A and B are shown apart, each in its own frame.
Chain A
């Protein structure tokens, strides 16, 4: 190790090559990174800083009178205490939707990866087919699917799952259903990519080593699909937690999530400082949860 390092250093200092290949490659690397970095600075870093600044403005200002920067940390307390319920609801709905999406997507991704044979590509196209229509239209479609005189509600009533005056629309069930439906493809695709890469000879090896079908899945297939599982849950949970369309179209103010609150504060109440505080809180909460989650999932080596 130390010899190798010494070798590299002396070569870099005294070697006949003026530019060692390693350094040249990293220069090219930075060049390639440049557009992406610029994009991030302009469209992510600057707005985020602006958002954080806004969250600290004097809450008594308005668009007409202008805002003054007072470093009002109290905005955060106001946001948290006033909108505690929608915050918790967002995390809860997104969590349940992510879990449901995982339960639906894993078998599907598994089937596409290992059982679909020549139907593999057709099935993948079907998974992304919903993207050909707009998010809004698809969510509106659920409104009629779950409507009070729709097929599902009447069937559930016939089966006495729902009471005679029960409904699905305008309940948390409808909102979570919508969220699950909308984000399932984001779960399927990374899971599929992960599963498809698994060397089936490893599964055979586990069977040779006394693992039955289920144990083999638990000890080999599942751990090897963890990168896809983590990616899929993140791609589902993060946007679902910030979503407001599903609650808006399929729920009532009783089901409103933090996205609806922010939407309302920004566009209706024009209360920018509190709206910004809510956004920052949501962002920090998600970042913290993701960090803990990725740690716990232990996928660093696999990613």
Chain B
């Protein structure tokens, strides 16, 4: 018992130290190719931090540099103010849950989980392993071999094997990637529960934006070796900083416009003859050419010419070009006079009849939900369905 108290006190001391993970100007080149480009990142102690980005953007490389399995070309990595950039992996207070799990096939589950403790000569391994297996709900599986477990069970062993060492930072490289959707959702909840329970900093790499949003306190969206934006999930969603983030995290309607007026709180733009208003706090650019953005579920459809509220933004004279029923909602595509198609999600509340292809409609939404982005950026950056379509038509 007293053993356990010291354990916990040690644990407590460590957490009190404010063990932030800091990456400063981290660059990694493979030959001429730059996988991670001058990256700065601070992960606060005790956070569930998600590194989100498309395939090949450098997430794994970043994680491997933190773990010490890859050496940065330049830059510094610190934990709790201590520079660990040149430390060997086995000297870092960091453990990893690998994408492939990498469980030792020649050891049983208990010995897999005990591996780190045994290397450090910790006493009382058996009890700790037992407790850890209970935590991941695998009590009684200790004598099995990894090959005798299901994918989800192996995933939990990989988690237990890393977590039992009480690292200052736990790195998770798409640990749920190999699981089917249902198990993935279940494990997301599980992971979140365990993180809250143990209070260790989790850095979770994923390319599933839904996963990042449901689990993380803070998300960093990464693209081509740089971080595009970092913040709480709802911040990123409501106020994206770049076209990439606006498309990669959910969907966005982006319409070309020009700033015509601005005061302290609002920026007024002109989009194809319509005056639209955005809060200054959501404007990444307040002069010249901009993208006016709004999320599809924030937009309402109305019969052409009908009345709308005072603080509404309105884009008129659209024609419904496609209607897809998705159960809880209906997705409309509306062709605008300038040739662009905008997307609208409408809840199937049953309060009114839907629209049909060919109907003339106005789009309106609250000014508060409007954001402005730099018009120099590609409107389709990060839009996976667009990329897929472009790819398909090209081939």
Chain A contact residues, CB within 8 Å of chain B:
199, 201-202, 204-212, 215, 219-220, 223-224, 301-302
Q: Which of B95, B96, B100, B119 has the most CB of A within 10 A?
A: B119
Does B141 lie at the interface of the complex (its beta carbon under 8 Å from any beta carbon of A)?
no
- CA separation between A220 and B90, bound complex, in Å? 15
Whether A205 pairs with B96 at a CB distance below 8 angstroms is yes
Does B355 lie at the interface of the complex (its beta carbon under 8 Å from any beta carbon of A)?
no
Contact flag A205-B102 (CB < 8 Å), given A212-B88, A212-B90: yes
Whether A223 pairs with B90 at a CB distance below 8 angstroms is no
Quote the shortest CB–CB distance from B61 to chain A (angstroms).
14
Which chain B residues border A223 with CB–CB below 8 Å? 106
Task: List the 5 shortest-distance A-B pairs measured between CB atoms, nearest first.
Answer: A210-B119, A205-B102, A209-B116, A207-B89, A201-B102
Secondary structure of the B side of the interface? loop
A201-B98, A206-B115, A210-B120 given; name 8 further pairs at CB < 8 Å: A201-B100, A201-B102, A206-B104, A207-B68, A207-B69, A208-B67, A209-B115, A212-B88
Whether B69 pairs with A202 at a CB distance below 8 angstroms is no
Quote the shortest CB–CB distance from A142 to chain B (angstroms).
39
Does B350 lie at the interface of the complex (its beta carbon under 8 Å from any beta carbon of A)?
no
Q: Which of A199, A209, A220 has the most CB of B within 10 A?
A: A209
Whether A208 pairs with B106 at a CB distance below 8 angstroms is no
Whether B106 pairs with A205 at a CB distance below 8 angstroms is no
Whether A211 pairs with B98 at a CB distance below 8 angstroms is no
Quote the shortest CB–CB distance from B88 to chain A (angstroms).
7
- CA separation between A211 and B88, bound complex, in Å? 10
- CA separation between A302 and B161, bound complex, in Å? 22
Quote the shortest CB–CB distance from B157 to chain A (angstroms).
12
Quote the shortest CB–CB distance from A297 to chain B (angstroms).
12
Contact flag A207-B100 (CB < 8 Å), given A215-B119, A224-B105, A224-B106: no
Q: Which residues of B, 78-136, contact A by the 8 Å Cβ criterion?
A: 88-90, 94-96, 98, 100, 102-106, 115-116, 119-120
Does B165 lie at the interface of the complex (its beta carbon under 8 Å from any beta carbon of A)?
yes
Whether B90 pairs with A205 at a CB distance below 8 angstroms is no
Whether B119 pairs with A208 at a CB distance below 8 angstroms is no
Q: Output the nearest chain B residue to A199 by Cβ-Cβ distance.
A: B102
Which chain B residues border A204 with CB–CB below 8 Å? 69, 89, 98, 102
- CA separation between A205 and B100, bound complex, in Å? 10
- CA separation between A206 and B105, bound complex, in Å? 12
Which chain B residues border A302 with CB–CB below 8 Å? 106
Which chain A residues border B103 with CB–CB below 8 Å? 205
- CA separation between A43 and B170, bound complex, in Å? 61
Residue of A201, A202, A208 touching B90 (CB-CB under 8 A): A208
Quote the shortest CB–CB distance from A73 to chain B (angstroms).
45
Q: Which of B90, B100, B116, B145 has the most CB of A within 10 A?
A: B90
- CA separation between A121 and B2, bound complex, in Å? 59
Q: Output the nearest chain B residue to A204 by Cβ-Cβ distance.
A: B69
Q: Output the nearest chain B residue to A207 by Cβ-Cβ distance.
A: B89
Quote the shortest CB–CB distance from B72 to chain A (angstroms).
17
Which chain A residues border B90 with CB–CB below 8 Å? 207-212
Q: Output the nearest chain B residue to A224 by Cβ-Cβ distance.
A: B106
Flag B17-30 by CB within 8 Å of A: 1 or 0 each: 00000000000000
